[in-house]
């Protein structure tokens, strides 16, 4: 099969040599999602441009408008790059982060687990993100990291951050788009992730943050498990190039 096949229709997936390919970004009428790498992506809407966990080379962000909002979930280097944040922000950029991230950035609006922040017509809520399994507790203690729910343009977007299938995730409701991590040994298995998604039933789930210590999680298996119920669509974005 020739390389360079272009996917024209959002949601159309091709199997090439056993690998699932998808569009580089996702759009609906009001919101666009642009994956950058691993845990880093850009949300664009009529209301704002939001950068989530911006890391990597500055050139990766040249094609996007300067951020109105930057969300940072945790202190690890796949979520936080102080030098990059300093270079991409502008005087009007709102940075929302945890207390531990703010200590490193020396900037930002601290949002603790369970707190909300209103910015114009956008509401951002901090959701806990932490490990449950005994052998993973050292990676993400409760209270240090955030997931986020963004209410924007009439939609609710959930970003898990680094977490396992915690009760706070399972209790979510009325989520339009969800970004859920699944990598070992740091976060959770695809079975844990699928179980949580089946509990809170987002309309669309985007697997992200799925490169672990020993390679990539089986997101095709995750998709099969989740879509059996018919409640949630699983869509793939291009996180790793």
pLDDT tens digit sequence for 37-49: 999 999 999 999 9
Question: Domain of 204?
Answer: 27-234
The structure tokens listed for 229 are 């119920």
Query: What are the tens digits of pLDDT across the range 159-179?
Result: 999 999 999 999 999 999 999
Is 4 part of any domain? no
Q: Which residues contact 91 (CB under 8 A, 6 or more apart)?
A: none
Residue 24: predicted pLDDT = 58
Nearest CA to 180 among 198, 200, 162, 168? 162
Is 16 part of any domain? no
Is 93 part of any domain? yes
Return the sign of the alpha-carbon dihedral for residues 38, 84, 160, 233: negative
Dihedral angle at the C-alpha atoms of 81, 86, 91, 94, nearest 10 degrees? 10
Is 22 part of any domain? no
DSSP per-residue letters across 188-236: --HHHHHHHHHHH--SEEEE-S-EETTEE--HHHHHHHHHTSSS-EE--
Provide the domain count of the chain: 1
Is 240 part of any domain? no
Is 12 part of any domain? no
Query: Phi and psi at residue 227, in whole multiples of 5°?
Result: -80, -5
Is 50 part of any domain? yes
Count the alpha carbons within 13 Å of 213 in the hemisphere toward its beta carbon. Answer: 6
Q: What is the CATH number of the domain that holds 181?
A: 3.60.15.10
Query: What are the tens digits of pLDDT across the range 92-103?
Result: 999 999 999 999
Q: How far apart are CA 55 and CA 36, in angstroms?
A: 9
pLDDT: which is higher, 196 or 184: 196
If you average pLDDT over residues 77-103, what whole number do you get? 96
Q: How far apart are CA 35 and CA 67, in angstroms?
A: 15
Dihedral angle at the C-alpha atoms of 117, 119, 121, 122, nearest 10 degrees? -50
Indicate the pLDDT class of residue 16, thresholds 50, 70 and 90: very low
Is 6 part of any domain? no
According to DSSP, the β-strands at 177-180 and 155-159 are parallel
Q: What is the pTM of this model?
A: 0.89
């Amino acid at each position: 099969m020739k390389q360079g096949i272009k996917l024209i229709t959002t949601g159309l997936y091709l199997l090439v040599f056993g690998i699932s390919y998808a569009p580089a970004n996702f759009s609906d009428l009001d919101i666009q999602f642009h994956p950058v790498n691993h845990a880093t992506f850009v949300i664009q809407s009529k209301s704002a441009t939001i950068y989530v966990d911006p890391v990597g080379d500055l050139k990766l962000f040249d094609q996007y408008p300067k951020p109105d909002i930057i969300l940072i979930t945790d202190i690890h280097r796949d979520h936080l790059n102080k030098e990059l944040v300093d270079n991409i922000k502008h005087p009007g950029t709102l940075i929302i982060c945890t207390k531990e991230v703010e200590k490193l950035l020396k900037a930002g609006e601290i949002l603790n687990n369970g707190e909300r922040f209103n910015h114009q017509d956008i509401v951002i809520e901090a959701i806990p993100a932490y490990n449950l399994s005994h052998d993973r507790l050292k990676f993400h203690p409760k209270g240090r990291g955030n997931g986020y729910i963004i209410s924007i343009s009439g939609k609710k977007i959930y970003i898990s951050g680094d977490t396992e299938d915690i009760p706070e995730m399972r209790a979510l409701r009325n989520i339009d788009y969800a970004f859920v991590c699944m990598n070992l040994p740091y976060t959770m298995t695809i079975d844990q992730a699928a179980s949580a998604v089946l509990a809170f039933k987002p309309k669309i789930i985007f697997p992200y943050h799925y490169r672990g210590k020993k390679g990539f999680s089986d997101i095709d298996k995750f998709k099969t498990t989740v879509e059996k119920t018919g409640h949630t669509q699983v869509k793939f974005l291009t996180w790793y190039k």
